[in-house]
Structure 1
Amino acid sequence: MEGTDKKQSTKEVKDNTSVVTPTKISGINGNGSKKLEDQDWFHAMRPRADVQNLAKNEGDWLVRVTDTRGTYEIVITARGPKSKLANYTIGASKEKGFYLNIFMKSKEVKYFPCPVDLVEYYRDKILPGRVTLKNPILRPSWLIKRSQIKYDVCDGEIGRGNFAIVYKAAFTNNVSQVMDVAIKVAIMDTADETNMKNAKDDLLKEAKIMSFLVHDNVIHFFGIACDNPPVILVMELCPGGALSSHLKREEKNISDLEKSLFCYEICKGCAFLHSKEIIHRDLAARNCLISQDGIIKISDFGLSRMTTELKQESFWSQKIPLAWMAPETLVHNPKYSEKSDIWSFAVVLFEIFSNGAKPWPDMEPKKMATLIRKIKLWDMPSGTPKFVLDVVNRIFKFDPLVRPDFKELAVIFKNYVIEHRSSHLVKDLTVNKIKGVKRLKYFTSIGERESSTSVSNSHSKDSSKDTDEEGN
């Protein structure tokens, strides 16, 4: 069953016209046969801030949907003379059809059976402000159609947050392949328009971040459907679930070797994010997922931002994961950086080596923030390997600049795995107990396997147990 929405009636305005509502955005035909969502210049509910950066030259244009006035409107956005950005909203009359609102009271008003016909007509005209529609901005491949997604709202739920619900779904890609995926669906609470808009905007921001990310240790992003509310983000399905749950379930069955493998893959994923100038800001074991190949994937980019965006945004309005926050982020003007993500990773190390426990589970938030700012922190669990304790001690420094980076930490954890893997077969890793998960190698990429072989040979002559099938 495909996720469905409650139908919304068209809002009436003067002259028997109406603003196009969500249910009419997707598949809107009027008396014509052309659909907006089939046009490569239609960008659905793409934010205005994105459009400003896309329309660079005079004559660049696209069509999008906006809800900035509390209702949904179809808008032609174009770059005009002197770099001005022009927006022309499309109105609708039940009797006459679609028209440009700017001409509504003019003798020049023209009506069209569908919005596509209207846009095609004005592509050959000069619009008010001497704006021309010369160069259509093509929709990126990650802006997908709602019709490509099918899910069961009654039986497919995987998880739930304040602003979105995660479901298992079927996704049909652009070459007609159907695959199982996870989708994050914005909660459309019509009783609270502000929350509804925030949920939509947050998912669109998350999608924009994810569109830059392709890496073995970052959850794969297929696209976002925003041609019709609710907004739906489509991503890789990780049958192993959250690392935090696996740690609690398997507890002492997980060896230090496997825990170090988790740490190595988290470091690799985060190092990649930082190479793309993206700060995660919510790194925790709950946001590290186990893929069908038993590989750790960094997920949940709802709070993530490009480094260039952080200066313009206050984080205090968000529900912050306090126990994972660095001291420089718990001040009046918080400073987020790669090094604040590194601090969060030290808390993840606590989670991993305490089998899923959280630091200070019952502490009052104000006291917790005070202790973090004073660097008066919890102790790592007994039995934690010394090299991990050394890593934690290097991270928990007040000055962010003296903390290590993820590239350096990845090497440390990788070397530990290389030195100890000969005594552990891959098939005995606890991730292989999870239904739908099968890990075949310690190191998944060719480059990793080649470098691990050379390092392994330099450390030990006894590599007879470390075969291609079981040890790499």
Structure 2
Amino acid sequence: MCAQRSNKSTKPPSSERSSEGSAKSSENTARSETSFELSEMSVNMKTAVDEKAKEEKPHTTENLMGTLPAFVLEEIRALEGVSYYHGMVARDLVETRLLRVGDFLVRATDNRIMSFEFILSFFNKKRLHSHLTIKGDVATERWSLGVSNIVTFRTIGELCDYYKAYPLGNTIVLARAVSKSKHMIAPDRIVFDLKKDLLGSGNFSDVYKGIMALETKYVKVALKNTKLLDEVMDADKNPNANKVKKEMISEAEVMSQLRHANITSFFGMAADRMPVLLVIEFCQGGNLEGHLRKNGSIITHGERMLYLVDASAGLRYIHAMSITHRDLAVRNCLISVNGFVKLSDFGMGLKIRRHNMTGSSETGDNCPARWMAPELIFKHPTKFSKQSDIWSLGIASFEVFTNASKPFAELNGTEVMKAVKLGKYPTTPPEAGPFLTGLLTQVHRLEASTRIGADMFHKQILDHCLHNNLLTLDNLTLNMIPGVKRERMFHFDGYTPQVVVYDKEHKDQGYQDAPSEMLANIVWKG
């Protein structure tokens, strides 16, 4: 079925950064402001938004679908409760889940310009993956397989049930329905405003603040989405947008394995319809880059060291999980509601083999050269490794002690690449002190294998801070940020993410442990 979409595009305003917390200072307001917004939206507890709110404000993912026939929208809503409907998931990703003859699932695609299609994917008797379009007839509001219009069905569920009982030919056999990932979230539970809630924007994705509806309460979250393909009219550009959509799904798979006080928490993904949304912990304090630039003149040496203790703890954890970050910089360090610095934006993150310190991706990564390790600069770069992240951590340390100054500010892009190839790095400022200056000499080494590891970096900087009584909760500039309060130096074992909660009357209940309902289906390990 090919349902035509409207030409009208709902394009949000642009921003220079794409990060869950890269909001303007006006976004970092007290939580009471959001409470007012909630009452304005008239959210229904069971469906996340009532019909009146749908008509008046473009707050739900359904409003972003464009104009589709009513019976198609009805089928989308019906399928969202079906375990084998995987939503907007790419072909190559679902094929990895179809392992036995007769395995099947239903997915959606929009890779044809201005269209939306349902696809039946299955593993046939020839042990090949097949993908058949499910055609929809607007006149009769009936569904059929693209290979045969003889039998039509009222719903796609009925279509699947029929072909389980009556195989079509020698190859189309449906036996075992393959369920979608546990962390999938129904998009109707998510509410946000395209204009008011934009935090940051990139080439192919935007980040918003939003509200996720639970059974008896609401939770403030961050939402990362792919931009509508309506905005990408050039057919040559569509593969790029689809590639980013796949990368977001891969990012969700990576983040679903992580749970740590210094990593932004992942709560799930809404992929049943466009746009695909990652639902992530909302970090009230914005990003560390903005905080350093705004308050740098009054941040103490000890507080800056605390930022590095937090960031290195997060890096140590993901490296222990055999994951590399690949884009470590203060712009991608967020400040949580309880004042912890957290690593974020795992869009370039990569799972690596446990017995191999390196990993590779199919194409080159668009990692900013000023933060890149020397081995990644060459025309034919070596594989990215954990030690490449360590180099970037050293550059982030420079940023922390220069109030987020641009590394190699005096050099243009070409000059930066030449310098980094030779193993050069920004001069550590005197304010960093002799200890950190010495530690960074173990980080910025041309040969990756000789660099200190994240575990040792964290241990040395933490031991130094504790031995010299540098860490204190007194006079933290973090606590000057509206809605942010750091009340303890370290999290307890068995960390549970903290979220801003609203009751059913939309009243702000402050930050609390994330409700178990948000955590039940996440695949956390470690």
What's the counterpart of residue 19 of structure 1?
A: none
Distance 1:259 1:363 in 2: 26
Instruction: Tell me whether 1:392 sits opposite 2:440 in the alignment.
Output: yes
Which residue identity is paired with 1:223? G
Alignment equivalent of 1:93, drawn from 129, 132, 137: 137
Q: Do 2:212 and 2:220's aligned partners in 1 also have CA atoms closer than 8 Å?
A: yes
Instruction: Tell me whether 1:437 sits opposite 2:484 in the alignment.
Output: yes
Q: Do 2:108 and 2:273's aligned partners in 1 also have CA atoms closer than 8 Å?
A: no
Q: Do 1:164 and 1:184's aligned partners in 2 also have CA atoms closer than 8 Å?
A: yes
Q: Do 2:359 and 2:384's aligned partners in 1 also have CA atoms closer than 8 Å?
A: yes
Distance 2:305 2:488 in 1: 15
Alignment of 1:81-230 (within 5 A): 81=125, 83-96=127-140, 97-104=142-149, 109-173=150-214, 175-188=215-228, 189-193=231-235, 194=238, 195-230=240-275
| SS of equivalent to 1:74 | strand
Distance 1:424 1:394 in 2: 23
Which residue identity is paired with 2:426? W
| SS of equivalent to 2:432 | coil
Q: Do 2:223 and 2:279's aligned partners in 1 also have CA atoms closer than 8 Å?
A: yes
Q: Do 2:260 and 2:317's aligned partners in 1 also have CA atoms closer than 8 Å?
A: yes
Distance 1:271 1:120 in 2: 48
Q: Point out the more displaced range, 206-215 or 432-441.
A: 206-215
What's the counterpart of residue 375 of structure 2?
A: 328
Distance 1:267 1:129 in 2: 57
Q: Do 2:301 and 2:431's aligned partners in 1 also have CA atoms closer than 8 Å?
A: no
| Cα shift readout 1:28-51 (whole Å, capped 9, x = no counterpart) | 27xxxx811110111001122221
Which residue identity is paired with 2:137? S
Distance 1:378 1:95 in 2: 66
Q: CA deviation at 1:55?
A: 1.7
| Cα shift readout 1:3-54 (whole Å, capped 9, x = no counterpart) | 43262467xxxxxxxxxxxx8765327xxxx811110111001122221221
| SS of equivalent to 1:77 | strand
Q: Which sections of structure 2, spanning at least 5 residues, go unmatched?
A: 1-56, 496-526
Alignment of 1:28-427 (within 5 A): 28=75, 35-70=78-113, 71-81=115-125, 83-96=127-140, 97-104=142-149, 109-173=150-214, 175-188=215-228, 189-193=231-235, 194=238, 195-307=240-352, 310-315=359-364, 318=366, 320-334=367-381, 335-421=383-469, 425-427=472-474
RMSD of aligned Cα (Å):
2.3
Q: Point out the more displaced range, 214-223 or 191-200.
A: 191-200
| SS of equivalent to 1:366 | helix
Distance 1:124 1:427 in 2: 69
Which residue identity is paired with 2:223? I
Q: Point out the more displaced range, 159-168 or 347-356.
A: 159-168
- Tell me: CA distance 1:242–1:63, structure 2 relative to 1, closer, same or farther (3 Å): same
Q: Do 1:35 and 1:116's aligned partners in 2 also have CA atoms closer than 8 Å?
A: no
Which residue identity is paired with 1:191? M
Which residue identity is paired with 1:113? R
Q: CA deviation at 1:282?
A: 0.5
Q: CA deviation at 1:172?
A: 1.7
Distance 2:253 2:96 in 1: 13
| SS of equivalent to 1:170 | strand
Q: Do 1:261 and 1:413's aligned partners in 2 also have CA atoms closer than 8 Å?
A: no
Q: Do 2:395 and 2:426's aligned partners in 1 also have CA atoms closer than 8 Å?
A: no
Misfit runs of 4+, over 6 Å:
none
Q: Do 1:200 and 1:230's aligned partners in 2 also have CA atoms closer than 8 Å?
A: no
Count of aligned positions: 424
Distance 2:180 2:253 in 1: 13
Distance 1:161 1:143 in 2: 24
Which residue identity is paired with 2:220? D
Q: Do 1:200 and 1:231's aligned partners in 2 also have CA atoms closer than 8 Å?
A: yes
> How high is the sequence identity, in percent, across the aligned residues?
29
Q: Do 1:98 and 1:113's aligned partners in 2 also have CA atoms closer than 8 Å?
A: yes
Q: Do 1:294 and 1:438's aligned partners in 2 also have CA atoms closer than 8 Å?
A: yes
Q: Do 1:260 and 1:416's aligned partners in 2 also have CA atoms closer than 8 Å?
A: no
Distance 2:94 2:68 in 1: 29
Q: CA deviation at 1:61?
A: 1.8
Q: CA deviation at 1:378?
A: 2.3
| SS of equivalent to 1:38 | coil
Which residue identity is paired with 1:251? G
Distance 2:204 2:234 in 1: 12
Q: Which has the larger radius of gyration?
A: 1
Distance 1:122 1:427 in 2: 67
Q: CA deviation at 1:354?
A: 1.3
Distance 2:379 2:420 in 1: 15
Q: CA deviation at 1:315?
A: 1.4
Which residue identity is paired with 2:364? F
Distance 1:270 1:62 in 2: 37
| SS of equivalent to 1:99 | strand
| Cα shift readout 1:252-290 (whole Å, capped 9, x = no counterpart) | 422222222211211121122222222211100000000
What's the counterpart of residue 27 of structure 1?
A: 74
| SS of equivalent to 2:258 | coil
Which residue identity is paired with 2:462? K
Which residue identity is paired with 1:406? A
Q: Point out the more displaced range, 85-94 or 292-301.
A: 85-94
| Cα shift readout 1:406-436 (whole Å, capped 9, x = no counterpart) | 1111111211232234x76414222111111
Distance 1:401 1:84 in 2: 43
TM-score normalised over the length of structure 1: 0.84
| SS of equivalent to 2:157 | helix
- Tell me: CA distance 1:310–1:72, structure 2 relative to 1, closer, same or farther (3 Å): farther
Q: CA deviation at 1:68?
A: 4.2
Which residue identity is paired with 2:489? Y
TM-score normalised over the length of structure 2: 0.76
Q: CA deviation at 1:209?
A: 2.1
Distance 2:65 2:91 in 1: 26
Distance 1:424 1:344 in 2: 24
| SS of equivalent to 1:340 | helix
| Cα shift readout 1:325-361 (whole Å, capped 9, x = no counterpart) | 0011011222211010111000001001112212122
| SS of equivalent to 1:126 | coil
- Tell me: CA distance 1:294–1:312, structure 2 relative to 1, closer, same or farther (3 Å): closer
Q: Point out the more displaced range, 234-243 or 377-386.
A: 377-386
Q: CA deviation at 1:312?
A: 4.3
- Tell me: CA distance 1:7–1:82, structure 2 relative to 1, closer, same or farther (3 Å): closer
| SS of equivalent to 1:87 | strand
